[in-house]
Amino acid sequence: MPPERAAEVRAALVAVVPAAVAVIPFGLLLGALAAQKGLSPLEVMLMSALVFAGSAQFIAVDIWTHPAPWLLLTVTALLINMRHLLMGASLSPKIRHFGTGRSLLALFTMVDETWALCEQRSASHRVNFAYMITMGAVLWVNWVATTGLGAAIGALMGDPATYGFDFAFTAIFLTLVVGLWRGPRTGVAIAASAAAAALVHLLFDGPWYIAAGGIAGALTGAVYGPFDEAVAEAAE
């Protein structure tokens, strides 16, 4: 492996380890819940391998009945994963140099954590394909294995809230938001997003609050206007 690529892989492993560790109890729990709903370990692993989206899978397992309401499950997954549209549009200019085939592969592994880490890295580095795909592959293998294991060993897991694991992703995302800070404009976008998301979450069931927050943040960005790099550099 060329040394530059090895360095990208190392950086990706360092960046992704906290997320991979944090996801283990959730993988076990999801597998156990799915097994209680009558899904076999192989079905759970197939779902994790092909869908690879934690929040969508938790909600799917929650509404799962037999026979599987496949249309409802499909539409629900679509709604919960709508945020990927915004994420992909935002990442698009940073991975333009990947080429089509590599982009399609890397995007299959785009989950909240890999996307946010790539966005963060794009501030200081060119986002490398090896960087993104290493993080994606680690989380994918981790997810398929832990959900399958959870389904095989069943409901041995307690409630993750006991050890604060239900807060682990919130904590990870908070550190990522801090890493995305670019001055007051970021603060305004965060405030608008939080206000819109909280309001929509209180008023409507379902994952609409994520789109509401993302769109509110984008609108504040447009109102705030273009980031002038010359002014920012002069101010430093």
Partner 1 sequence: MGDLFAQWAASGAFDVDPLTLLAIAGMGLVTYATRMGGWLATRRMVLAGRARAAMEAVPAAVLTAVITPMVLVTGPAETLAAAVTVLASLKLPRLVTVAVGMAAVVGLRAVMY
Report the residue from 6, 97, 126, 163 that binds partner 1 according to the rule CB under 8 A: 163
Q: How many helices (H) and strands (E) does the chain have?
A: 12, 0
**Counting contacts by CB under 8 A, is residue 232 touching partner 1?**
no
Question: Cβ closer to partner 1: 8 or 109?
Answer: 109
Which residue in 77, 72, 33 sits closest to 55, CA to CA?
A: 77
| Binding positions for partner 1, 55-84, rule CB under 8 A | 56, 60, 66-71, 73-75, 77-78, 81-84
Instruction: State the nearest-atom distance from the C-beta of 35 to partner 1, in Å.
Output: 10
Question: Is 91 a residue that touches partner 1 (CB under 8 A)?
Answer: yes
Comparing CA positions, the residue from 138, 136, 169 lying closest to residue 58 is 169
For residue 187, what are the contacts with CB-CB under 8 A and spacing of at least 6? 181
Stretch that binds partner 1, among 1-9, 38-46, 125-133, 138-146 (CB under 8 A): 38-46
Decide whether 2 or 10 has the Cβ nearer to partner 1: 10
- Shortest distance, position 105 Cβ to partner 1, whole Å: 11
- Short-list 167, 154, 135, 197, CA closest to 9: 135
Question: Closer to partner 1 at the Cβ: 45 or 130?
Answer: 45
Q: 36-52 burial by CB neighbour count: b if 16+ within 10 A, else e?
A: eeebebeebbebbeeeb
**Residue of 234, 27, 229 whose CA lies nearest to 148:** 27
- Work out whether 7 is an interface residue with partner 1 (CB under 8 A): no
| Alpha carbon distance 127, 119 (integer Å) | 8
Interface with partner 1, residue 129, by CB under 8 A: no
CB of 230 to partner 1, least distance (A): 15
* Contact between 132 and partner 1 per CB under 8 A: no
Is 26 an interacting residue with respect to partner 1 (CB under 8 A)? no
Q: Kindly tell me which residue out of 6, 141, 171, 203 binds partner 1, with binding defined by CB under 8 A.
A: 171
Q: Which residues contact 154 (CB under 8 A, 6 or more apart)?
A: 32, 35, 36
Rounded Cα distance between 183 and 197, Å, is 21
Report how many residues bind partner 1 under the rule CB under 8 A: 104
